[in-house]
């Protein structure tokens, strides 16, 4: 892993994402690329062309943003982490996609401004668009990840053949941190299978991978979402990984609403990788 892209807007959530990036970058010696995207009103091509901005005003504005980014960078990242930054005029989704391709990012880490339930964390505006459309691995964080350890990580899946390429990417990431991988199949009332059959399916799925630290888990709950959250709490997981299809986002896994009274503490950093 060489390049990590982190969109920032100076909010608490982008601060949390940057702290997580610092942990990963220190472990992998990767360069962190901070990108601040300025979305102009529709029809405005650039600041100089807008009647609302003069060139001196726009230059002053950009200088203030640059100063703010440098302060942000110096506050969060230690001197031994190489950090670069961009200021670009783009809407958030297009900008993230464009500059991830431009720098050939290995990983995108971004914060979420969702509420306490998992559905709002991953299904919404720019975060959902990035997860649904970008082929690169994405980690979504919502809480302070300064002490992110990644000792116990979950790969939740239906363990179909189509997910093997995704799993290979996840295994490479987990190996960097010497993580224990918890392979997780959720049994629900509407999609139930015998534990022995579910475990055998997982064994068949992983037989071509050289896994050093792992555990096969079949967990029953009222829904897939609740099962993942409750299991992650039970083992005190540091990260949850899921595969996603571009056509339907995470709808193939998250088919129902998550109850509003779920604890905020149940939310873990999440990695999504597009199939």
Q: What is the predicted pLDDT for the residue at 132?
A: 65
Q: What is the CATH number of the domain that holds 88?
A: 3.40.50.620
Query: Tokens 């053949």 correspond to what residue?
Result: 161
Contact 205, 172 (CB under 8 A): no
User: Is residue 137 included in any domain, yes or no?
Assistant: no
Contact 153, 238 (CB under 8 A): yes
- The Cα-based distances of 244 to 128, 135, 196, 214 in angstroms read 11, 10, 26, 22
Q: What is the predicted pLDDT for the residue at 242?
A: 83
Q: What is the predicted pLDDT for the residue at 256?
A: 32
Contact 131, 250 (CB under 8 A): yes
The domain boundary residue, chosen from 64, 88, 113: 113
Run means of pLDDT, 10 residues per run, the chain, 275 residues: 93 91 94 88 48 63 89 94 91 84 93 54 54 80 80 92 91 94 92 92 95 95 86 92 61 35 51 79
Secondary structure string (H, E, C) spanning the chain: CCEEEEECCCCHHHHHHHHHHHHHHHHHCCEEEEEEEECCCCCCCCHHHCCCCCHHHHHHHHHHHHHHHHHHHHHHCCCCCCEEEEEEECCHHHHHHHHHHHHCCCEEEEECCCCCCHHHHHCCHHHHHHHHHCCCCEEEECCCCCCCCCCEEEEECCCCHHHHHHHHHHHHHHHHCCCEEEEEEEEECCECCCHHHHHHHHHHHHCCCCCCCEEEEEEECCCHHHHHHHHHHHCCCCEEEEEEECCCECCCCCCCCCCCCCCHHHCCCEEEEEC
pTM here is: 0.82
Q: Are residues 159 and 275 in the same domain?
A: yes
User: Is residue 235 included in any domain, yes or no?
Assistant: yes
Q: Are residues 54 and 156 in the same domain?
A: no
User: Is residue 141 included in any domain, yes or no?
Assistant: no
Q: Are residues 63 and 159 in the same domain?
A: no
Q: Are residues 109 and 178 in the same domain?
A: no
* Structural domain harbouring 68: 1-113
The domain boundary residue, chosen from 66, 90, 113: 113
Q: Please state the φ and ψ torsions of residue 7, each to the nearest 5 degrees.
A: -70, 135
Report the C-alpha gap between 168 and 163 in whole angstroms. 9
Domain count, the chain: 2
């Amino acid at each position: 892993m060489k390049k990590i892209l982190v969109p920032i807007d100076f909010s608490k959530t982008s601060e949390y994402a940057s702290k997580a990036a610092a942990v990963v970058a220190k472990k992998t010696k990767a360069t962190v690329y901070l990108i601040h995207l300025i979305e102009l009103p529709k029809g405005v091509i650039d600041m100089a062309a807008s009647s609302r901005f003069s060139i001196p005003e726009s230059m002053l504005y950009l200088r203030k943003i640059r100063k703010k980014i440098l302060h942000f960078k110096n506050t969060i990242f230690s001197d031994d982490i190489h950090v670069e930054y961009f200021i670009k005029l783009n809407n958030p989704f297009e900008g993230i996609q464009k500059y991830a391709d431009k720098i050939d990012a290995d990983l995108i880490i971004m914060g979420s401004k969702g509420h306490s339930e998992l559905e709002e964390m991953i299904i919404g505006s720019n975060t959902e668009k990035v997860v649904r459309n970008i082929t690169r691995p994405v980690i979504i964080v919502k809480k302070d990840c300064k002490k992110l350890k990644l000792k116990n990580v979950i790969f939740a899946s239906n363990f179909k053949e189509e997910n093997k390429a995704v799993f290979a990417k996840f295994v490479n990431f987990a190996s960097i941190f010497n993580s224990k991988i918890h392979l997780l199949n959720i049994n629900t009332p509407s999609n139930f299978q015998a534990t022995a059959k579910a475990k055998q399916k997982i064994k068949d799925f992983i037989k071509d991978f050289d896994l050093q630290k792992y555990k096969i888990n079949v967990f029953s709950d009222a829904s897939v979402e609740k099962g993942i959250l409750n299991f992650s709490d039970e083992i005190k997981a540091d990260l949850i990984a899921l595969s996603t299809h571009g056509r339907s986002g995470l709808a193939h896994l998250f088919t129902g609403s998550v109850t509003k009274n779920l604890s905020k503490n149940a939310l873990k950093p999440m990695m999504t990788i597009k199939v």
